[in-house]
Chains A and B, each alone.
Chain A
Amino acid sequence: AQSVSQHNHHVILSEAASLELGCNYSYGGTVNLFWYVQYPGQHLQLLLKYFSGDPLVKGIKGFEAEFIKSKFSFNLRKPSVQWSDTAEYFCAVTPRSNDYKLSFGAGTTVTVRA
């Protein structure tokens, strides 16, 4: 079974700082990769996804993620965060052969100080 590991439990940043959240997965086959975000009081929303092609994926709100197959990683980045980026961020994976089941990491809480 696949598993997902997110490196940081809680990250605290100041506005305009750069953000990078780590995500590693364990699965030997081809995968689909996602980053979801949960803003305070709101439901899970898709930030970006990778299925195939260019390993550098751009999502909404200035976020991007890079898939590095050799490292089983899919790290999320944003060059300059805003206070409104305060949220919980989840990395998720499905095996391409069995893509109904999303496996999530434990999440990283990001707090951006104004």
Chain B
Amino acid sequence: ETGVTQSPTHLIKTRGQQVTLRCSSQSGHNTVSWYQQALGQGPQFIFQYYREEENGRGNFPPRFSGLQFPNYSSELNVNALELDDSALYLCASSLPSGAGVDTQYFGPGTRLTVL
């Protein structure tokens, strides 16, 4: 176990709805990254948060947004859900990239199904 927790475990939504996924980082880690893992594929980077600011973003539209809180926990929000958003959403925590190279530790993921 990495100490990274995510909630909920599973979620079913319909097209057009909005969803919020939550992540608590490993103790001592103040950087959180979010990934989308579609079935049969590797995780795709969505964005990273460091000190409550977005630190980098992958190739995802603006309807994917996030927040990081002072306790370093994080949320991923997805608006106007589409069928293709069905995936496993992974959260990973790490020490800040500016402090030198470090490793990302992953949580168990939230399985989102969009009907």
Contacts and interface: CB of A to CB of B under 8 A. Distances in A.
Contact of B103 (A34, A103, A106): A34
A43 B108 contact: yes
A42 B108 CA distance: 7
B97 A43 contact: no
Contacts of A90: 42-43
Contact of A32 (B35, B55, B90, B101): B101
The residue among A4, A42, A96, A99 with the most chain B CB atoms within 10 A of its own CB is: A99
Given A43-B2, A90-B42, A96-B101, A102 B33 contact: yes
Contacts of A107: 40-42
Interface residues on A, range: 20 to 34
B43 A102 contact: yes
Given A4-B42, A102-B33, A102-B43, A44 B56 contact: no
Interface in B58-105: 58, 90, 92, 97, 101-105
29 contacts: A4-B42, A34-B103, A43-B106, A43-B108, A44-B92, A44-B106, A46-B103, A49-B103, A51-B101, A90-B43, A92-B42, A98-B56, A99-B101, A100-B31, A100-B33, A100-B48, A100-B56, A100-B97, A101-B33, A101-B45, A101-B56, A102-B33, A102-B35, A102-B43, A102-B92, A103-B45, A104-B44, A107-B40, A107-B41
Rank and list the top 4 A-B pairs by shortest CB-CB distance, nearest first: A104-B42, A44-B106, A43-B108, A100-B48
